[in-house]
């Protein structure tokens, strides 16, 4: 049973997110259905409003994004993947470079070693927050720094890709939408596979469930077509709003230092990631928009949705972000040492 305050919070979030998407679309902002809600809900949260997204709706959005990614995977894409091993190695090296660059910046702001290391992690937000709660570190600070990173990258990446003319983005030829019955069956199968992945503790399990089912059915010819816009656009609005809710009722004055530190860290890691992305694109021949999104240390679900909207290679982007998260799952406990196992008093 949903309580009245929760219902009001959901409705208000939907209203603000929808207004943000409408305004961003009218202003021709890149990826408007993602960036508009993220910005609008963030501002509303900083003003003290209680905003949230229902868990079921959030999970449904993850599944739809996964299905959207899989619809673009073709035999040609599989053949192109043979050129990616160097890129995979580069993304692992990038994670280490970004982690320690951000760590030393946060140490310069005066944060202790554990808080700085957790705040510096280039991704895997939910895992990092869980790890923070089990250590002698500042949970509020780490949450703000990590949330600033996710929000800033969501807004910055499409601007970099489109307005700096890194690659000419021609409008994609959208596939015909799936038949409603096929779409419903795909969603049901994706939920089932996503549930299995959850049991196996995969990162972004529901999104990967949608990817796995969609790729399998499209590669084998069992299904064809894409996710209809009447479903994909609201999904992006949900994801954008979800990013903004991380700042719900946050005190900008009380957390000023963490906001500034998060902003500085985000600028630094984005510059480093961009430099590496340029090198990888030149060495592998992968289009710059795909490499930029794949190497940006943003949220997997957000970057996956952005790849779809920006007409980038979704298979390339998704595979690199999954690898990044898996690597971080192993790397963070190693670099933290005993701190990763030390409970708070």
In order, the DSSP letters of 206-257 are HHHHHHHHHHHHHHTTS---B--HHHHHHHHHHHHHHHHGGGTT--TTTTHH
**Would you say residue 38 lies in a domain?**
no
Cα–Cα distance for residue pair 288/296, rounded to 1 Å: 12
Residue for token digits 């949608």?
A: 210
pTM: 0.75
Q: Which range marks the domain in which residue 81 is found? A: 55-242+250-341
Question: Is 226 strand, coil or helix?
Answer: strand
**Would you say residue 13 lies in a domain?**
no
* Distances in whole angstroms, Cα of residue 156 to Cα of each of 59, 83, 87, 125, 223: 25, 28, 22, 18, 35
Asked if 88 and 283 count as a contact pair (C-beta separation under 8 A), the reply is no
Among residues 104, 146, 96, the alpha carbon closest in space to that of 298 is found at 146
Please give the chain's pLDDT, 345 residues, in tens: 678 888 999 999 999 999 999 999 998 877 788 888 988 998 898 888 889 999 899 899 989 988 987 776 666 666 667 778 899 999 999 999 999 999 999 999 999 888 999 999 998 776 787 677 667 777 778 888 888 888 888 888 887 777 665 544 444 455 688 989 999 999 999 999 999 999 987 766 888 888 889 889 988 888 888 889 899 899 989 988 988 887 777 666 667 888 899 999 999 999 999 999 999 999 988 888 889 999 998 877 788 888 887 778 888 888 888 888 878 877 887 888 766 555 444
Q: How many other CB atoms sit within 10 Å of the CB of residue 254? A: 11
Cα–Cα distance for residue pair 308/207, rounded to 1 Å: 14
| Residue 84: both structure tokens together | 């990616």
Cα separation of the two ends of the chain: 35
Total domains, the chain: 1
Asked if 256 and 209 count as a contact pair (C-beta separation under 8 A), the reply is no
Among residues 187, 181, 137, the alpha carbon closest in space to that of 341 is found at 137
Cα–Cα distance for residue pair 345/343, rounded to 1 Å: 6
Angle at 267 between CA 121 and CA 241, to 5 degrees: 75
Cα–Cα distance for residue pair 292/317, rounded to 1 Å: 9
């Amino acid at each position: 049973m949903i309580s009245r305050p929760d219902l009001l919070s959901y409705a208000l979030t939907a209203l603000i997110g929808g207004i943000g998407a409408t305004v961003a679309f009218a202003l021709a902002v890149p990826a408007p259905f993602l960036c508009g809600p993220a910005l609008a809900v963030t501002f509303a949260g900083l003003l003290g409003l209680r905003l949230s997204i229902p868990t079921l709706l959030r999970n449904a959005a993850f599944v739809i994004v996964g299905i959207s990614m899989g619809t673009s995977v073709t035999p040609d894409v599989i053949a192109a993947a043979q050129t990616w091993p160097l890129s995979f190695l580069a993304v692992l090296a990038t994670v280490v470079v970004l982690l320690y660059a951000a760590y030393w910046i946060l140490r310069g702001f005066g944060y202790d070693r554990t808080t700085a290391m957790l705040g510096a992690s280039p991704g895997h937000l939910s895992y990092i927050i869980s790890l923070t709660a089990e250590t002698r570190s500042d949970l509020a600070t780490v949450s703000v720094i990590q949330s600033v990173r996710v929000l800033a990258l969501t807004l910055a990446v499409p601007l970099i890709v489109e307005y700096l003319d890194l690659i000419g983005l021609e409008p994609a030829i959208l596939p015909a939408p799936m038949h409603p019955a096929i779409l419903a069956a795909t969603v049901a199968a994706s939920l089932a596979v996503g549930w299995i992945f959850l049991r196996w503790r995969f990162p972004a399990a529901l999104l990967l469930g949608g990817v796995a089912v969609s790729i399998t059915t499209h590669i084998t010819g069992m299904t064809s077509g894409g996710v209809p816009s009447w479903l994909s656009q609201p999904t992006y609005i949900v994801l954008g709003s979800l990013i903004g809710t991380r700042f719900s009722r946050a005190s900008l004055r009380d957390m000023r230092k963490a906001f500034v530190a998060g902003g500085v860290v985000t600028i630094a890691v984005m510059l480093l990631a961009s430099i590496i992305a340029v090198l990888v694109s030149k060495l592998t021949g992968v289009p710059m928009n795909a490499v930029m999104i794949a190497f940006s240390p943003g949220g997997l679900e957000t970057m996956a949705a952005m790849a779809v909207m920006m007409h980038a290679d979704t298979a390339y982007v998704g595979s690199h972000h999954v690898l990044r998260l898996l690597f971080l799952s192993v790397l963070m406990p190693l670099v933290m040492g005993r701190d990763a196992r030390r409970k708070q008093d």
